[in-house]
Structure 1
Amino acid sequence: MSLFRTLQHSPATISIFHNAKVPASASLYKILDKSYWKLNEEKSQFQVDLMANQMPTYDQFNLIYHQCLHNQTHKDILRDCFPFMRDQRLSTNKNSSITVTSPIGLLANAKGGSGNLKVFLEGEYSMIYEAFNSLVNDPTPDVNPANLFLAPLVVDWDQNLIANNEESLSVILNKYKADITDAGLSPA
């Protein structure tokens, strides 16, 4: 828990960028919601910020990119949530193909974290964000919005951790289980 939040006595914020139509997202939301009620009796540990059918804003993406990519697992989570950022093999004709390396692909090969690489300029991300919003709000989109952003993405802004599956979510929630145990309470 940060010193500022300790002084304020405010709970941490865990955001879930969620799509109920995606089974993995529904499963993580169920676990997160259950943990909120089970680990958080006084609602002082954390609050859940449900971001249904939304992708991170540019500022949120920047925070995630610059503060939450601690290891290869976190880089893989980010790549999984933004499918267009993966390396892609494109055929130019019958006999040849090229591989387009994504900025995150380059990031994965960089040593020591995210370095100074920039994935998107604000204008580029704004176009992606607007396209996603128009697709997700269209009842019959021409392109699946999951090609731009694939939920779930869970972000613990206090711990600078991200998750997109049960294993990585348990890493986030373990901190709150430990806080309850340290306080002499039972996580039940």
Structure 2
Amino acid sequence: MVLVAAGQLCASNVLKDNAVAAINLIAKASALKCKVLFLPEASDYIARNAQQSKEIVKSVADSPFIQAIQGKLKELNTSGESLSVSVGIHEPSETSDRVKNTLIWLNEAGEIVHRYQKIHLFDVDIKNGPILKESQSVEPGNEVLKPFASAIGTVGLGICYDLRFPELALRLRSEGAQVLTYPSAWTMKTGPHFQLLAQSTAIFTQSYVVMPAQKGKHKLEDGTVSNRESFGHTCIIDPAGTILAQCSDIDDTEEICVADIDLDKLELLRILEQNATNKSSLSKTEKPPSKITQLLFGSKGLEYRYNVDVCERFPTGDQFKFIKQTLSMNPQCKKAFKDAFPTLGSANDHVIDLQSADSTTLKQYESKTLDELAKENVFQPPLVVDWDHKLIASDEPDLLKILNNYHKNEEGI
């Protein structure tokens, strides 16, 4: 039996007060012999507004919240207890005046050994509800953290709104994740969506999903209550989509729910599901990845059933490199890619400046015509989408048609 705990709390904008709540949950999880405690997104603070968030953010070295957690874990470790903590915090950015929304993993000795920065930011304007513009104060991440080994299995990290984008879960699953977590501070109106999405994610990835969440109306330093309220419903979900444990939502007191992570059952379920899927596959045709796919994803590219190659929403290092390399292609391709991918990113500032990039990797294609590129299978994927999931082409002829249309447009190439 390997026990995990998911913590629920209601953070204020005072880091020291939130540290007390986090320490209480750590003590509860340790007393129950849990191996990992998952804490919510932004457990260190929920600011009064975007400007205050920029003012009160602390580096992990200077944060009283992190210092308190590290001290408690060291104390437990010295006494023979073994507990790791996953916790969502804010960190200052090195490149902008915004903060970073990150999820850090602290080992039993209190050391920060893994860090993920939230990719998908939550910008919403709800009628008669809250107006949240996370991108005003938060800098988006652009890297998926590879799943890592832990006492409860291989863990994959995401944060809150990342849950709405299944590509992340699929990628983490394809890289070996057995347990996924999406710490959150859901709004009251969107909260129910995320619990359903969490159960769906558990099912389609055949993974455990741990959902620590903030709950309640968030207090301010002067004792008043802000107009922001979080949904709660912290829970732990098994690979069949069953909620194994869930925190009570009677009040805003910090608490945990606990469940057993049974990796033997998980692997059995995955084997059964894989066999059933193989028997009902529409196609078993094998084909090598296209040159475009290889450039986008390298040797570790995702393999999609039914021979579908999909450009993921979030940019990876290989994708950044590839987009820059397209500038050395012939003019038709350069113009087509620039128009087909106008922003090359989500609305969360994942934008590539095509004009400033330069590379010689694809020099071999500079003099090629579109027909020659097609014959060499440069454009082979049957499905191409942009960063906002807008369909660009459903097959190679469609893509070539788009490229030719750009070639013939009135602006010229």
TM-score between the two structures when normalised by the length of structure 2: 0.17
- Say which structure, 1 or 2, has more relative contact order (CA 8 Å, 6+ apart): 1
Greater radius of gyration (CA): 2
Decide which structure has greater helix share: 1
